[in-house]
Chain A
Amino acid sequence: MRKITRRDALRASIGACLIAPWSLSHLTVGKAAGLTDTKIVLGMSAAFSGPSRGLGIELYRGATAYFTHVNRTSGVNGRQIVLKTYDDGYQPNQSVENTVKLMLQDQVFALFGYVGTPTVTRVLPMLKKFQDEKMFLFFPFTGAQPQRQPPYGDFAFNLRASYRQETGGLVDNFVSIGRRRIAVFYQADAYGRSGWAGVRRALGQYGERIVGEATYRRGTKFTESMQRQVDILKAVKPEAIICIGAYAACAAFLRDAVNLGLRVPIANLSFVGSENLLKLIIEGQDDSRRYTDLLVNSQVVPSYEDVSNPGVREYRDLIQRYNPQPPRELIKEAYTPFSHSFASLEGFFNAKLMVEILQRLDNKPERGKLKSAVLSIKDFDLGVGEPVSFSLNRRQGLNRVYYTVVDEGRFVTLADWKGRFS
């Protein structure tokens, strides 16, 4: 065998350097990026493990119920929808790694159904980097502003209302019943800060400020103590507390707040994962009402109990018919899915709108046509009770916020704030 000389090595290195950019470009631009005559591949990175896994799993189940239904009927212009999923455990760095895999290795057609603010905010700059490839993120499960505003707003399309709208609505309602001293309990990251900023902004309109704040680390479990956080907030004597967190930590806070005598309304945003929170709170409690009678959660989809809504009826029918399970290879810890949940209902509506967009691409779908397909959605009836529209200045389909409380162990729509919390 001929010995490799230094000159050979140098020649090989130069050759590799010349070929590398072409290879990368070939991978990303590739003619059949996530698209063949028989399938369209969408990429999803979400929490399927860790204390927030319920969010990713439920969102996935809802979306899969609708995709399965479409695939079993006619598909999208004859193509099957494939949802390629990776677990990021709600960790930003893992989310970035997964996105690289989805874009370069799996060459997905579009990104869909990402979960979380800290994860999505890290991924957005990648979409800007690959803007020539027209890679878009559809309907992330977060209400934060970065994917709704410049410089990254052009690369994402949102369906749900924003945290700004959720927190604004909560503040409006609390103020309307005379509860102006509002404190905030939040996750110490971009998600928490987004909600915190929403509360601050809403209170500012009433000439008020956040009276106190306490934080927790992302990934905190229900078994951990929140006594220090409760003590911090108790000291400022709040009249209401708005929590911006995930279900495990928020349930732990609610438990410790009630146990330590902090008896004020405690609100959570839609991201919390209401059913998982409720399950943690009421499990093993003789008097669960003590923990839930002052609880109010904002939602961005109507109640799945509201069968007067055609979209909800369709969701209930399809989720029951297909009963989708999370990807087996991603499940590391046992998880029992809920028959219905707000997260899976949101996933269902996300999928339904995604299918509508893909169908508008006709028989020759290209990433480059995605934006115009989205912008062609005007007053579309998703069956959610609110028409969906997009425009160049409107990157969010829905704006309505719903408020729910726990009655007889389940979430129902809150009709009377004064009667409940005065």
Chain B
Amino acid sequence: MKIQRLFQKTLFGIFLLFGVIGVSTSVLCIYTVDTQLSEEYETNSKGIAKTIADASVDIILNRELSALQSLIDQFVEIQSISYIYITSDSGEFLAHTFVPGIPVEIMESDWRSTATVQRSLPGMGDYVEVGNPILAGIAGTVHIGMDTGLIALKIQRAIGQQIYLISTIFVFGVIAAIWLVNLAAKPVERLLAYAVEVARDEGTAPDAELLVRDDEAGQVARLFQYVAGVSDIPKPGHSLPDTHA
């Protein structure tokens, strides 16, 4: 497809504009999705940790630990939660979901801490861990580990969908721009061909379709006709183009 040089810059401008919009939207989207999803996962996990902590009080004080294990087993079925462990006020692991055993990094960590921490557990992966005290910490602490790899995968998927949408709009936009530019370029091509004929003094009558146009191309065609002496009077209802307009 041949694109008129006159419109090449316009088209380039459109590409550039789309590119800038696409890239900036994607960057903003990545940042927003990443931040918001990460925060959402962390908030949800904190909520789950609080729920477990509240439900654990009665079990720790009055019942057997198998009930506590049964409780955390139900929560660990939730996707993105990779492990849960509950420590007593003295740091003993009362219930956990680790297989084949409690990682050394976790055994050596501060069981009282409820701060959000990043953990890299050899042979397991990378996690974000949140905590919640049980009975203000005097009955123990609940810790929940979220798989950052899984969260990253979800974020990537969300971002991928956004980028896919932007790319689709970009492709359709470019096709539409080329089509519109070509539509605008056709009368200019005819006008150029007529101007060449006029310059060669071939005296050919201009394209009738071009002469009836009420846009700038039609006006210029009629002007050429007038200048070439083919017509004395411009088409009724049309005046010579105002060069100062």
Contacts and interface: CB of A to CB of B under 8 A. Distances in A.
Interface of A: 92, 117-118, 121-122, 144-146, 149-150, 188-194, 196-197, 213-217, 226, 228-229, 232
Contact of B67 (A146, A191, A215, A228): A146
Contact residues of A: prevailing secondary structure: helix
Nearest to B76: A188
A217 B73 CA distance: 11
Interface of B: 62-70, 73, 95-102
A228 to B, nearest CB: 4
Contacts of A189: 69-70, 73
Contact of A193 (B68, B99, B102): B68
B74 to A, nearest CB: 8
The 5 closest A-B pairs by CB, nearest first: A193-B69, A194-B66, A145-B64, A190-B70, A190-B66
Given A150-B63, A213-B101, 13 more contacts: A92-B73, A117-B66, A122-B70, A149-B63, A188-B96, A190-B73, A192-B69, A193-B65, A193-B69, A194-B69, A197-B64, A215-B99, A217-B99
A36 to B, nearest CB: 36
Nearest to B58: A151
Which of B63, B97, B100 has the most chain A CB atoms inside 10 A of its CB?
A: B100
A221 to B, nearest CB: 14
A333 to B, nearest CB: 24
Contact of A196 (B65, B97, B98, B99): B65
A192 B102 CA distance: 15
A188 B100 CA distance: 9
Contacts of B68: 193
B42 to A, nearest CB: 25
Contacts of A118: 70, 73
A65 B96 CA distance: 40
Contact of B66 (A145, A188, A215): A145
Given A118-B73, A121-B70, A189-B73, A194 B101 contact: no
8 contacts: A117-B66, A150-B62, A188-B98, A193-B65, A193-B66, A193-B70, A194-B64, A214-B100
B100 A215 contact: yes
A179 B224 CA distance: 113
A142 to B, nearest CB: 9
A213 B99 CA distance: 10
Contacts of A229: 100-101
B140 to A, nearest CB: 15
Contacts of B96: 188
Nearest to A216: B99
A51 to B, nearest CB: 15
B64 A149 contact: yes
Contacts of B67: 121, 145-146, 190
Contacts of B63: 145-146, 149-150
B95 A193 contact: yes
B59 to A, nearest CB: 10
A92 B74 CA distance: 10
A90 to B, nearest CB: 13
A163 B65 CA distance: 13
A4 to B, nearest CB: 38
A144 to B, nearest CB: 5
A232 B100 contact: yes
Nearest to B65: A197
